[in-house]
Amino acid sequence: MPQTPANDETKPIATSSPDAARPRLRLAPPIQRVVTSLGILCGFSRSCPGCADIRETQGICPACTAESAGPAGPWNTTQISSLFLEQLIPVRYFGHYEAPGGGGRCRIADLLATFKYRGRRDAGRELGRIFTRFPPPMRERFDAIVPIPLTAEKLHRRGFNQAAWLARSASRALRVPLRAELLSRISDQDGPQAGRSGVERRRLGPNPFCVPARPGRLNEARILLIDDVCTTGTTIAQAARALLCAGALHVEAAVLLISDRSITR
Ligand SMILES: [Zn+2]
């Protein structure tokens, strides 16, 4: 997916995080893996999918959440230009892609890479749970949830659209219909985006997204776009522009992770 800033799975897992938020039980990794497996099999312990620390509760641990979260905690909002009638697109993001202090990507980004590039559906389910934690004010503000689509070729190659997985969780949490058919991706014409600035990407050519619907179908619709990563905002801007040009009234976006290239931490 062109929007993802790092598809290099050889990057080390970042380990910097607030010590106070770390779980207290620390074992040598081989012993920890054995204990974790035994505990999970016996039903009396679980492990964080981000750091594998043993915990009493299910899901991503507070330390992994804190590592990617902004100063105000998880789920913050920024705005990007839609490149259409000067409309701005609010973008909600759960956390930052990069670990604090230049320590590579965060553990949640590692979990996302495990999902996207190794096809680990258990990782996808854990990430989907994040999208059940939308703040209540978002309820009943949208008519449709639309995942950022892949091209047909990439969808065939990968076998699934990671944004659609996250969008299904958001649809259930917000009780808003999932309408993936409202937006298509015609091409990846902008190619690999790593290392390019937002201005460079916007000069690369026509919009790779289109709305394959008859005129008027999006009339007055309020749409929430969902994606896994926002690198410079160009993908979301192009998708939002396609929806607004086709008659959508309002478009916002929610992403799992945002790159420090999009917003100052
Ligand atoms: Zn963790």
The percentage of the chain sitting over the pLDDT mark of 90, rounded to a whole number, equals 36
- Ligand 1 center–CA 174 separation, angstroms: 26
Q: What is the pLDDT of residue 224?
A: 95
Query: Is 94 a residue whose pLDDT tops 90?
Result: yes
62 alpha carbon – ligand 1 mean position (Å): 7
Report helix angle 121-130 to 162-174, nearest 10: 40
Residue 113 to residue 226: CA distance in whole angstroms = 17
Nearest to 224 by CA among 155, 131, 124, 130: 131
**Which residue shows structure tokens 């790593």?**
194
Query: Which pLDDT score, from 0 to 100, does residue 222 have?
Result: 93
Distance 178 CA to ligand 1 centre (A): 30
Query: Cα separation of 78 and 56, whole Å?
Result: 34
What's the pLDDT score for residue 151? Answer: 93
Residue 32 — pLDDT band, cuts 50, 70, 90? low
The 10s digit of each residue's pLDDT in 61-72 is 888 998 988 877
Average pLDDT over residues 31-51: 68
Residue 7 has pLDDT above 60, yes or no: no
Region 145-153: mean pLDDT is 95
- Rounded to the nearest angstrom, the distance between the alpha carbon of 168 and the centre of ligand 1 is 24
Region 73-90: what's the mean pLDDT? Answer: 83
Top pLDDT among 252 and 29 is at 252
Q: Identity (one letter) of the amino acid at 234?
A: T
pLDDT of residue 8: 38
Pick the CATH number of 65-262 from 2.40.128, 1.20.1740, 3.40.50, 1.10.3470: 3.40.50
Confidence of residue 41 (pLDDT cuts 50, 70, 90): low
Please tell me the distance from the alpha carbon of residue 197 to that of residue 257, in angstroms, as a whole number.
18
Mean pLDDT estimate for the chain: 78
Residues 6 or more apart whose Cβ sits within 8 Å of residue 238: 83, 207, 208, 209
How close is the Cα of 45 to the center of ligand 1, in Å? 14
Q: How far is the CA of 156 from the centre of ligand 1 (A)?
A: 32
Residue 1 Cα to ligand 1 midpoint, Å, equals 25
Q: How far is the CA of 58 from the centre of ligand 1 (A)?
A: 10
51 CA from centroid of ligand 1 (Å): 4
Ligand 1 center to residue 57 CA distance, Å?
11
What per-residue confidence (pLDDT) applies to 57?
67
- Over the stretch 160-201, which tens digit does the pLDDT of each residue have? 999 999 999 999 888 899 999 999 998 876 544 444 555 555
**How many residues comprise the chain?**
265
- Give the pLDDT score at 194: 44
Q: Please give the distance, rounded to the nearest whole angstrom, from the Cα atom of residue 50 to the centre of ligand 1.
A: 4
Q: Is the pTM of this model over 0.85?
A: no
Domain boundaries, the chain: 65-262
CA of 147 to the centre of ligand 1 (A): 27
For residue 53, how far is its CA from the centre of ligand 1 (angstroms)? 6
Question: What is the H or E stretch that residue 77 is in?
Answer: strand 76-81
